């Protein structure tokens, strides 16, 4: 008997702004993903869940197939929205990173945890703030969610800057919260809820205003 799945709010989705494109992974991403992950081992390991096997195995073509299958199933169940982060350039697109809205819980919570990374070669260009702003607007709009959380190791200055520039609220200190890079690590909890964006025209619009003010001299409190 064929089981008909109920549509999942907001998934699948393709989002884009300011040269950044978010889309579901495709099987054809395997080679680019393996190359990207392998050349970023040192850049990513301090911040990633402890892998169940070696970096080379986890980030092989077979590893991609496993991850891609798990992501597709999670998307169909409504548990996650997993995006390949690409840059639009030269009339095409280049895979440069990853953004996951995971652990989606609905009913009285309507919340998700965001996780992300970019290739070290494009770090510092504002790719992830734009990607996260797009994803949050999508989560709060078509995704029907109320809250997006980001949990970050206290020493991860770059990631904390991403959420601080976007105006996430620092809410919590979670001792020994996640098993990252071989040990249980403390995390700082940040969050946004839909109420935080009332009268803002969305997070992307607010991020663009913040970024533009920062480009033209001293800005307001949120860009300190
Ligand atoms: C965290 C991360 C996704 C930020 O993405 P991004 O697109 O570089 O974000 P931004 O361009 O806004 O830069 C954020 C901060 O990175 C730092 N940064 C700037 N240029 C950099 C460079 N070339 N290399 C490393 N860090 C740099 C700065 O502190 C910057 O903050 P600023 O804008 O106040 O100067 C990226 O650094 C990354 O992938 N890190 C490794 C994985 C990781 O930490 N994931 C998050 C786990 S919670």
pLDDT tens digits along 18-51: 999 999 999 999 999 999 999 999 999 999 999 8
For residue 6, the CA-to-ligand 1 centroid distance in Å is 38
- Residue 217, pLDDT above cutoff 70: no
Q: Supply φ then ψ for residue 55, to 5 degrees.
A: -60, -40
Q: Which residues line ligand 1 (CB under 6 A)?
A: 43-44, 47, 116-118, 123-129, 152, 156-159, 161-162
For residue 199, the CA-to-ligand 1 centroid distance in Å is 28
| Nearest to 101, CA basis, from 10, 19, 196, 203 | 10
Q: Please give the full DSSP string across the chain, using - where no structure is assigned.
A: -PPPPPPBTTBS--EEETTEEEE---GGGHHHHHHHHHHTHHHHGGGSBPPSS-HHHHTSHHHHHHHHHHHHHHHHHTS-EEEEEEEEETTEEEEEEEEEEEEEE-TTT-EEEEEEEE-GGGTTSSHHHHHHHHHHHHHHTTT--SEEEEEE-TT-HHHHHHHHHTTPEEEEEEEEEEEETTEEEEEEEEEEEGGGGTTTT-HHHHHHHHHHHHHTSS--GGG-
**Closest residue (by CA) to atom 13 of ligand 1?**
124
Query: Ligand 1, from 99, 158, 219: best to mutate by most atoms within 8 Å of Cβ?
Result: 158
| Nearest to 87, CA basis, from 127, 138, 33, 139 | 127
Query: In the sheet that 183-193 helps form, which strands lie side by side, from edge to edge?
Result: 15-17, 20-23, 81-89, 92-105, 111-118, 147-152, 183-193, 169-180
Higher-pLDDT residue of 43 and 216 is 43
User: Which pLDDT does position 219 carry in this prediction?
Assistant: 40
**Closest residue (by CA) to atom 34 of ligand 1?**
161
User: Which pLDDT does position 6 carry in this prediction?
Assistant: 82
Quote the pTM value: 0.95
Confidence of residue 224 (pLDDT cuts 50, 70, 90): very low
User: Which pLDDT does position 216 carry in this prediction?
Assistant: 64
pLDDT tens-digit series, residues 51-89: 889 999 999 999 999 999 999 999 999 999 999 999 999
pLDDT tens-digit series, residues 170-194: 999 999 999 999 999 999 999 999 9
Higher-pLDDT residue of 219 and 110 is 110
For residue 162, the CA-to-ligand 1 centroid distance in Å is 7
For residue 122, the CA-to-ligand 1 centroid distance in Å is 9
User: Which pLDDT does position 218 carry in this prediction?
Assistant: 46
User: Which pLDDT does position 184 carry in this prediction?
Assistant: 98
Which atom of ligand 1 has the smallest separation from the CA of 40? Answer: 41
For residue 58, the CA-to-ligand 1 centroid distance in Å is 24
Burial readout 98-114 (b: 16 or more C-beta within 10 A, e: otherwise): bbbbeebeeeeebbbbb
User: Which pLDDT does position 1 carry in this prediction?
Assistant: 67
Q: In angstroms, rounded to a whole number, what is the distance separating the alpha carbons of residues 223 and 166? A: 9
- Residue 221, pLDDT above cutoff 60: no
- Residue 223, pLDDT above cutoff 50: no
pLDDT tens-digit series, residues 123-164: 999 999 999 999 999 999 999 999 999 999 999 999 999 999
Query: Ligand 1, from 19, 124, 189: best to mutate by most atoms within 8 Å of Cβ?
Result: 124
User: Which pLDDT does position 82 carry in this prediction?
Assistant: 98
């Amino acid at each position: 008997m064929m089981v008909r799945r109920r549509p999942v709010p907001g998934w699948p989705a393709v989002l884009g702004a300011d040269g950044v494109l978010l889309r579901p992974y495709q099987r054809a991403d395997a080679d680019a993903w393996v190359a990207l992950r392998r050349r970023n081992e040192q850049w990513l390991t301090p911040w990633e869940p402890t892998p169940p096997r070696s970096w080379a195995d986890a980030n092989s073509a077979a590893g991609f197939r496993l991850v891609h299958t798990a992501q597709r199933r999670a998307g169909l169940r409504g548990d996650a929205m997993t995006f390949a982060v690409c840059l639009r350039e030269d009339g095409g697109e280049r895979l440069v990173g990853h953004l996951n809205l995971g652990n989606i819980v609905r009913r009285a919570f309507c919340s998700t945890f965001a996780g992300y990374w970019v290739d070290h070669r494009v770090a510092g260009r504002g790719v992830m703030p734009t990607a996260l702003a797009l994803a949050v607007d999508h989560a709060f709009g078509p995704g029907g969610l109320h809250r997006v959380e980001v949990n970050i190791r206290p020493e991860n200055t770059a990631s904390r800057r991403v959420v601080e520039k976007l105006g996430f609220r620092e809410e919590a200190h979670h001792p020994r919260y996640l098993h990252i890079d071989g040990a249980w690590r403390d995390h700082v909890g940040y969050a946004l809820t839909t109420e935080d964006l009332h009268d803002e025209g969305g997070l992307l619009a607010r991020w663009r205003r913040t970024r533009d003010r920062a480009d033209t001299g001293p800005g307001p409190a949120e860009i300190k």
